[in-house]
Amino acid sequence: MAKKAHLTNEHEPRLYRVVADKIQRLIEDEGITAGERLPSERDLAGALNVSRASLREAILALELGGVVEVRGGSGVYLCAAKVEEDIPEVGPGPFEVLSARRMIESEIAAIAARVATDSAIDAILKAVLAMEREHANYASNEQADREFHLSIVRATGNSALVGTMEYLWNQRGRMWNRLKEHFQTEELRQLTLTDHRNILEAIAAHDPAAARKAMRAHLERVTRTFSRG
């Protein structure tokens, strides 16, 4: 009988976990103690030879594991050099999900621009209006944001793509929420509304190239904002 295949992540930990381990080793090597501030993100990224995005995911994982505390405008502080339990496995990192979405969702927007019916476009518009109306309400705004992106994929008429996007959206878990807590700004929220309007207009105009470009620009900007802070 053939041996059962093992899940990849049993043997290949996610990159943010690898980077988190490197940070903990650096903490030990540098003799950083509880309550002390870690080096800046720029210095840590250089010392560990990793991208700022990978470093930021690792810090979020360490924060969720109770190892560090992120203080806005001040830096990252050590809570405890080690924790008894492993850093929690919280699924794909936020930038991993954003990378997948850039590849997939840009083409989804182009398809929607080609085939969307009037009623499908109305559903996308309804989500945009709800996001604008619920701008100050985080939970309602998040729901409207989700509905906007899912309305676009539903407009393609492809149920497999709908399932793919629902999966990707559902990966916006604890790390994503913590990332938004730390780095979401009013400017980013306003730019997101503008981006969504641009995407809607391109789809309503049945312009696949413009829809693809608008969706990619939106997701690239979110990635830049959250990776640079």
Express each pLDDT in 31-55 by its tens digit.
Answer: 998 889 999 988 998 999 998 888 9
Contacts of the segment 182-189: beta carbons below 8 A, 24+ positions apart: 182/70, 182/72, 182/229, 183/225, 183/226, 183/229, 185/225, 188/222, 188/225, 189/135, 189/141
pLDDT over threshold 60, residue 10: no
pLDDT tens digit sequence for 99-126 = 999 999 999 999 999 999 999 999 999 9
- Going from the C-alpha of 175 to that of each of 2, 47, 83, 172, 187, the distances in angstroms are 37, 23, 18, 7, 21
How long, in residues, is the chain?
Answer: 229
Contacts of 115 (CB under 8 A, 6+ apart): 155, 156, 157
Q: Report the pLDDT value the prediction gives residue 6, as an integer from 0 to 100.
A: 37
Average pLDDT, the chain: 86
Residue 75 β-bridge partners = 71
Say what percent of the chain tops pLDDT 90.
49
| Residue 142 binned pLDDT confidence (cut-offs 50, 70, 90) | confident
Confirm if 154 and 120 have CB atoms less than 8 A apart.
yes
Runs of H (alpha helix) within 171-229: 174-183, 186-204, 208-228
* pTM of the model as a whole: 0.76
Q: Which of 65, 77, 98, 50 lies closest to 226 in space, CA to CA?
A: 98
Report the C-alpha gap between 16 and 96 in whole angstroms. Answer: 10
pLDDT over threshold 60, residue 88: no
Rounded mean pLDDT, 52-68 = 88
